[in-house]
Chains A and B, each alone.
Chain A
Amino acid sequence: GAVVSQHPSWVICKSGTSVKIECRSLDFQATTMFWYRQFPKQSLMLMATSNEGSKATYEQGVEKDKFLINHASLTLSTLTVTSAHPEDSSFYICSARDGAGYTDTQYFGPGTRLTVL
């Protein structure tokens, strides 16, 4: 149980285009999802917290107009990188917290590698 999927697993796009990444909890309802960014050989940097039915909470320094997050249902959150540029190239990982009862464990997706040309 506790499986989180991401789609796509990798994407290459041209500078100036927008890219949408999906994060789904497959066998549980996720009231809270998190989006991280990871640079090569570095730890994860939390970008934003996404709660179902409400606006995402962004970490300091993260541009909310550039990284649009939507958490429309209890099993799906999306991250849209708008007007992508080469510096947005990175590994994006989502995680989901099981909302059924008290649990403090986050389950992570396999990640999406974005390359902006």
Chain B
Amino acid sequence: GNSVTQMEGPVTLSEEAFLTINCTYTATGYPSLFWYVQYPGEGLQLLLKATKADDKGSNKGFEATYRKETTSFHLEKGSVQVSDSAVYFCALILMDSSYKLIFGSGTRLLVRP
């Protein structure tokens, strides 16, 4: 079946530290992959996406590369800020006519000053 697995949180870092949040997936075919971010009390915001193997999505200093060989889409940022504290969701979209998103369980990031 289709599924997304994320590393469990919370992840606690000091400001300016390097961030990696692991995400692996299982899917039929080659789905598009996404990272969404959710700030407290808000909906989800699209952070970045990649639509095919070896694509690199990037936004606001965050990056993730679509690795078909390892079925991974790890999120990275070189220097986190306190304002990056949020919950991050990895997701894939089903490659059928439903366009449903399959989410990981989410990883909470806490950045301390």
B105 with A43: CB separation less than 8 A:
yes
- B62-97: which have CB < 8 Å to A? 89, 93
Report B-chain residues with C-beta under 8 Å of the C-beta of A34: 100-101
How many residue pairs bridge A and B at CB < 8 Å? 51
Question: Shortest 3 CB-CB distances between A and B: which pairs?
Answer: A108-B44, A110-B43, A108-B43
Q: Which residues of B contact A (CB under 8 A)?
A: 32, 34, 36, 41-46, 49, 51, 89, 93, 98-101, 103-106, 108
A residues with CB within 8 A of B: 4, 6, 32, 34, 41-44, 46, 49, 57, 93, 95, 97, 104-111, 113
A-B contact pairs, 7 of them (CB 8 A): A6-B43, A41-B108, A97-B99, A104-B93, A105-B46, A106-B101, A108-B43
